Structure 1
Amino acid sequence: MRLPRLRSTSKPDGAPGSRFLASVRGLGPGSVSSVLKVALDVAYVLLALITGVLLLLLIAAVFIPLDNLNVTVSGDSGGRQLPLTRMLLLFGLGAVTAYFGGFMLILRSLRRIFRTLTVGDPFHPHNVRRLRQIGLTLAVVTGGVWLAQGFVAARLAPGVMEPQGIGELLTPVFSVLIVFVLAEVFREGARLRRESELTI
């Protein structure tokens, strides 16, 4: 009795899209990380220039005359004209400068993290500190914006601009918590890498 022959069938390699995604490298030179690092470098330079210009305007606002100048504060319920006092101008420019400066600090830490990704070393020990700095800076910027908008709504433009509610803080707070969780993940990865190096 003759047994039937079994035919071996090879599985297809997959769809073209999956083959392309498999060939894309996330770490190392020429990877997606290196492209993102270049984009972060450009954004960091632009933010540094904007922050520098705002800082110069903040210094100039101490000396420029403000006679008979008004500013219009707009909100959902309409607008209101207020006299442009030096304190109001300094507060506005200072808040905007601090806002852009905070995000410049965040980009600086991100650039250093992506520099380690570009050389293929994601669990560098310094990345834990950098992620914590990003989370702390993001928390300070979020809290500063919330307090500044509440101050403007209560003191400068009551009835025109509404202060932010607690519910509007949920997304920023969630983002801050994610960054701190990522910092702990990187800390654990750095610890495991250190232990493996000691074992070898």
Structure 2
Amino acid sequence: MGLPDMASFGNRASRLTGGTLHKAYLRTLGPGSVSSLLKIALDVAYVLLALITGVLLLLWVASIFIPLDNINVTVSDGSDGRQMPLTRPLLLFGVGAVTAYFGGFLVILRGLRKIFRTLTLGDPFQPDNVRRLRQIGLILAIVTGGVWAAQAAVSRLAPGVMEPQGVSDLLTPVFSILVVFVLAEVFREGARLRRESELTI
């Protein structure tokens, strides 16, 4: 009986090992990939955020009719607390600001769900994704500016309720906004290259 063909044995082992390692790695695009799992997580978060936003919207409408006679809120500035009357404009502003905050992130999640749907289909470089990313960046900028302005206004009108944001607090949101707009340009370039490739073929 002759010796086994070591080259053939090595090739067979390499094919088996390569196939096992290939299956061990998770795919990032297409059905059953990491993108599809993230799409499911985004769907769940979107439904929960939609419910929260709906409840807040109903609460804002109810705030128009809720009687506020002799209702006070306690404001603390860190050392002691003081009471101030809860007025209807203050209540409407507070509930409306929170509702707008959650509503903005609801729109952002809707855009992300559509983007991850294209990732799940394995076709991310679509012109619509460029528009969606720019919309996400714009809404994120509006939400960031709105939160900064609201906190600055509340800190002046009702000292002790909250502290205004400093410039350093805006570094992370501004960086995130810039990253989103850069990603939009990357997707735009990818869509252009795909279009040129299709025309060439």
The amino acid of 1:138's aligned partner reads: L
State how far apart, in whole Å, the 2-side matches of 1:63 and 1:197 are.
60
Greater shift in the superposed pair: 62-71 or 175-184? 62-71
> Could you tell me which residue of structure 2 aligns to residue 16 of structure 1?
none
> Could you tell me which residue of structure 2 aligns to residue 60 of structure 1?
62
Q: Provide closer, same or farther for how the CA distance between residues 168 and 54 of structure 1 changes in structure 2, counting only shifts above 3 A.
A: same
> Could you tell me which residue of structure 2 aligns to residue 70 of structure 1?
72
1:108 aligns with 2:117: no
Report how many aligned residue pairs link the two structures.
Answer: 190
Greater shift in the superposed pair: 77-86 or 179-188? 77-86
- Structure 1 residue runs without a partner (length 5+): 1-6, 14-18
State how far apart, in whole Å, the 1-side matches of 2:22 and 2:81 are.
53
TM-score with structure 1 setting the length: 0.87
Q: Is the 8 A contact 1:78 1:160 kept in 2?
A: no
Q: Provide closer, same or farther for how the CA distance between residues 28 and 92 of structure 1 changes in structure 2, counting only shifts above 3 A.
A: same
State how far apart, in whole Å, the 2-side matches of 1:160 and 1:62 are.
22
The percent identity for this pair of structures is: 75
TM-score with structure 2 setting the length: 0.86
Within the candidate set 78, 90, 93, 1:91 is matched to 93
State how far apart, in whole Å, the 2-side matches of 1:179 and 1:78 are.
43
Q: Provide closer, same or farther for how the CA distance between residues 36 and 54 of structure 1 changes in structure 2, counting only shifts above 3 A.
A: same
Q: Can you list the C-alpha shifts for 1:6-50, whole angstroms capped at 9, x where unaligned? A: x9999x99xxxxx47962100000101011101100100111111
The amino acid of 2:63's aligned partner reads: A
Q: Provide closer, same or farther for how the CA distance between residues 121 and 77 of structure 1 changes in structure 2, counting only shifts above 3 A.
A: farther
> Could you tell me which residue of structure 2 aligns to residue 152 of structure 1?
154
Q: Is the 8 A contact 1:58 1:93 kept in 2?
A: yes
1:28 aligns with 2:16: no
Cα RMSD (Å) of the superposition? 2.4
> Could you tell me which residue of structure 2 aligns to residue 183 of structure 1?
184
The amino acid of 1:141's aligned partner reads: V
Determine which structure has the larger helix proportion and give its number.
Answer: 2
> Could you tell me which residue of structure 2 aligns to residue 3 of structure 1?
none
Q: How far off its partner does 1:98 sit? A: 0.2
The amino acid of 2:125's aligned partner reads: F
- Structure 2 residue runs without a partner (length 5+): 1-5, 16-20
> Could you tell me which residue of structure 2 aligns to residue 193 of structure 1?
194
The amino acid of 1:34's aligned partner reads: S
The amino acid of 1:163's aligned partner reads: P
Q: How far off its partner does 1:79 sit? A: 4.0
Q: Can you list the C-alpha shifts for 1:132-166, whole angstroms capped at 9, x where unaligned? A: 0100000000000000000110012x255321111
